[in-house]
Amino acid sequence: MIDYIQPDYEVVRNKDLCVKCKVCVRQCANQVHAYDEKRDALYVDNSKCVNCHRCVSLCPAHALKIVKTDHCFKPSANYTEDIIKDIYRQADSGGVLLSSMGTPKSYPVYWDKMLINASQVTNPSIDPLREPMEIKTFLGKKPEALEYLPDGSIKTEKYPNLELKVPIMFSAMSYGSISKNAHLCLARAARELGTFYNTGEGGLHEDLYEYGENTIVQVASGRFGVHPAYLRAGSAIEIKIGQGAKPGIGGHLPGSKIGEDVSRTRMIPMGSDAISPAPHHDIYSIEDLRQLVYSLKEATDYKKPVIVKIAAVHNVAAIASGIARSGADIIAIDGFRGGTGAAPTRIRDNVGIPVELALAAVDTRLREEGIRNNVGIVVGGSVRSSADVVKAVALGADAVYIATPALLALGCHLCRSCHSGRCNWGIATQIPELVNRLNPDIGARRLVNLVTAWAHEIMEMMGGMGINSIEALRGNRLMLRGIGLSQKELDILGIKHAGE
Amino acid sequence: MEDYEQFRQVAEKNREGNVRIPSGCAICGYFSRKGNALPASDAVNAMSYMHDRSNGLGGGFAGYGIYPDFPDHYAFHVFYDNDRAREETETFLKARFDISNMERIPTRKVYGIKGAPLIWRYFGTLLPEVKAHTELDEEEYVCRSVIHINTGIKGAYVFSSGKNMGVFKGVGYPEDVGEYYCLDGYKGYCWTAHGRYPTNTPGWWGGAHPFNILGYTVVHNGEISSYDANRRFMEIYGYKCTLLTDTEVITYIIDYLHRKRKLTLSDVAKVIAPPFWSRIEKMEEQEREKLTTLRNMYAPLLITGPFSIILGYPGGMMALNDRLKLRSMVAAEKDDVVYVSSEECAIRSICPDPDRTWSPAGGEPVIVELDKECVK
């Protein structure tokens, strides 16, 4: 059969620099590199290269680089190279196209169309190096009223809240889709940072129970790995209704990734595909959600906040309003540019809405209905930098979820091939030799560094605005201005245009 | 004539409510614990010593205990652009209140005060049948009536609505505004004063300070950086921030926490200018619990950015600085009178030899109330 598809990338080796140490051969799980002993020569098979930079990064002589091929189709603005290749692939296989990580399409990134304010003259900026700058935050329902007791202390309704030292959490990535070492890195970093990581839908490995105080345990439609001890192990429980990268569909972890440990953790047979259904089969409406929320609260003595995670879709404001009345303590909104371990390409690239618009719409709606204080709001789905965090908080989020930046910190190069299970960086794989490449101590340190750096930047930006407490930034939309946005977009975001 | 029209249009466009106008300011207040009637002229005099902190675009005063003849009547002070607005407002008021007295507030011609609206005051009590039929408690009903006039009747603006107290404010330097309102004839147990330095060019009298709702008045110096977070929270609870000024939202926050949620004023201060977490963590358990709860439940009401405020309320006065003390504020005491001011010179101009003076720390309120035996 003719292969219609030419390789996307070319591995270029500078033979003058190459010392033939063969590290590239040993490191590439995709078997791009090969050594021919007879000829004493190294060869490459470009068709296998996913452009993950493992060989490039480890080459001691800096003799390697990966370039995009200049081989081309006849240019067309309509039938682009990507579209042509996808058609060839589907004609070959007859299957649904799969992709990983967030959509690479050029949809508008609203974070980049908002600018942050700073103080001048009338109001002093505050220097975070010299003055306290507070970014601690609480997630959960707030009481409205209080009573004074005779001894002067106060009495209020008590609701379980999560206390975050930084308004950044690691978002759900399941054990199975990523390696145990990756989970260890996230757990250790969350503990050190005073924040939380999220198990995703794959259960909690027995070795990670000790990090329970910094863990959010997820209950998804497949209920993999869900049992009473699991629910009690974490500090909060997240019901996953949807994911930004693939709203409306379930998850799929191929049997090849289900080894002994994953099988035990997920409570499914080894080697069987783990396919979680599109909806929860006990949630067909909002009142069913309420029942699940309260079942989980019953199971954990009303001590843990319940998060409901939804994908950002067209009607997100009304859905969030329903969730805020369902007994949930926190709503997590996942935008359509968010990442995934595997999703049908067409869904990832075409379903859902940007998280910035979803967040603004939800925050506004909950305020209009007077129920904003019933819930915390967490947003994820392409929060890429500290500036995105500041903008999210100013639009109304209590905190953000990050996943792709966390993986990048662990060495991910966004080659978007997680679904293959052969992650050369030891992240999205279960192959022991590859998993061992990710050192949990070093990984945790890099995650702590990343979030600490962001925290410093957040404080700098807050100080510039004359704000020394994150509470005063939350929902403070006057601190944002749009740039190059239409009036409609500005109205939805609830911000003014630059210059206004 | 065309020039005037153009000026009027610009002034209208840039007035409070259409744009957000930050301003620097001077504030001053004094309070007699024994309820002695202190002259308003002291406040006028004190403000003249801080002349350079204002720029002639707003000055005002609030006095408590100034209407002993009508102690239980709501005293509505109203600005009107024209007689049509006055008639409409009077019809509205008369349908709800038993008006015992109505008059133009006495004023005199003063160089430097121009563009004054019609200024009237009404003393009234809520009609018994209205009180019987509303679902709201009396204060809430009065409060909403005021908001209704201010947002619903074009050209009318109620700028004072408490009992036995009144606000006098306008566009001009505070000492000229005091002269204009003939404040030399008023006495009360508490006075607060404000001189304004807005960074814009409004010419609207309603935009001057103090800002009032029911018995609360706030004078404020500063520009709060948390404004929109505070405003959007208050709007959840039905407050409409129509002026877009800091003072307005601060007054609403205090009204919400103190009148509606029944927090003590010292706890109100802990909500709007709380100690830093690093300090809270070191406190004893009960205090730590309390402050953590307050900060968490009312997080959106924390105010950041520089401010010094003086809150007047029936029977008391509270002065408060932001938690970093980014605005100057000095307090002093002489016998039963407590003074607060942006600058010490203003206090010394009316009380040359105070028993003590001090500079209240950021976030630490100075609260003075009438001695129990002096509450009438």
- Shared domain check, A49 and A163: no
CATH code at B119?
3.30.70.260
Q: Which residues contact A16 (CB under 8 A, 6 or more apart)?
A: none
Q: Is residue B19 part of a domain?
A: no
B68 has a pLDDT exceeding 60: yes
pLDDT of residue B17: 63
Name which of A356, A314, A355 is nearest A334 in CA terms.
A355
CB proximity B284 to A under 8 Å? no
Please tell me if residue B305 touches chain A, with a CB cutoff of 8 Å: yes
- Would B351 be classed as within a structural domain? no
**Residue A115 resides in a domain:** no
Which residues of chain A fall short of a pLDDT of 50?
none
B25 assigned to active site: yes
Asked if A90 and A141 sit in the same domain, the reply is: no
Q: Of B226, B282, B322, which to mutate for an interface test with A (greatest number of A Cβ within 10 Å)?
A: B226
Query: For chain B, what is the domain count?
Result: 1
Instruction: Report the domain count for chain A.
Output: 2
Q: Residues near A176 by Cβ (< 8 Å), separated by ≥ 6?
A: A202, A253, A257, A258, A262, A265, A266, A274, A430
Q: Is residue B172 part of a domain?
A: no
Structure confidence by residue, pLDDT tens digits, A84-142: 999 999 999 999 999 989 999 999 999 999 999 999 988 889 999 999 999 999 999 99
* Farthest-apart Cα atoms in chain A, separation: 91
Shared-domain flag, residues A330 and A227: yes
Inter-chain touch B299–A474, beta carbons under 8 Å: yes
- Whether residue A41 is found in the same domain as residue A155: no
The per-residue pLDDT for A352 is 96
Residues B219-261 pLDDT 10s: 999 889 999 999 999 999 988 888 778 888 999 999 999 999 9
> Which of A122, A154, A161 is nearest residue B223 as measured by Cβ atoms?
A122
Residue B20 has a pLDDT of 65
Q: Tokens representing B48?
A: 């003249």
A134/B289 Cβ within 8 A = no
pLDDT band at B212 (very low <50, low <70, confident <90, very high): very high
**Is the CB of residue B256 less than 8 Å away from at least one CB of chain A?**
no
Contact status of B233 with chain A (Cβ, < 8 Å): yes
Q: Residue B9: its pLDDT value, please? A: 63
Q: Check residue B335 and give left, alpha or beta (phi > 0: left; psi -120 to 50: alpha).
A: left
pLDDT band for position B1 (50/70/90)?
A: very low
Task: Say if B109 falls within a structural domain.
Answer: yes
Q: Do A466 and B306 touch (CB under 8 A)?
A: yes
Residues of B in contact with A145 (CB under 8 A): 261
Min CA distance, B110 vs chain A (Å)?
30
Comparing B374 with A183, which gets the higher pLDDT?
Answer: A183
Other C-beta atoms lying within 10 Å of the C-beta of residue A165:
15
Is residue B149 domain-resident? Answer: yes
* Distance of alpha carbon B36 from alpha carbon B30, whole angstroms: 11
Residue of A nearest to B200 (CA): A122
According to the model, what pLDDT value does residue A427 have?
97
What is the mean pLDDT of the segment spanning B291-295?
95
Q: Which two tokens stand for residue B345?
A: 């010179």
* Domain extent at residue A346: 137-497
The ipTM, to two decimals, is 0.90
pTM: 0.93
Hey, what amino acid is at B229?
A
- The range of the structural domain enclosing residue B154 comes to 68-163
Mean pLDDT for B143-162 is 93
pLDDT band (50, 70, 90) for residue B18: low
Task: State the Cα–Cα distance between residues B319 and B367, nearest whole angstrom.
Answer: 7
CATH assignment of the domain containing A30: 3.30.70.20
Residue A376: give its domain's CATH number: 3.20.20.70
* Token reading at B45: 């005099």
Collect all residues with Cβ–Cβ distance below 8 Å to B7 and sequence separation of at least 6: none
Strand ranges, E, within A297-453: 306-311, 330-334, 343-344, 376-380, 399-402
Q: Which chain B residues are Cβ-neighbours of A374 within 8 angstroms?
A: none
Q: Which residues of A touch B296 (CB under 8 A)?
A: 138, 142, 161
pLDDT (0 to 100) of residue B184? 94
3-state class percentages of chain A: helix first, strand second, coil last, to nearest 5: 35, 15, 45
Identify from B14, B228, B322 which residue to disrupt to test chain A contact, counting A C-beta atoms within 10 A and taking the largest count. Answer: B228
Tokens found for residue A204: 């909690």
Q: pLDDT digit string (tens) for B81-106?
A: 999 999 999 999 999 999 999 999 99
The answer to whether residue A1 sits within a structural domain is no
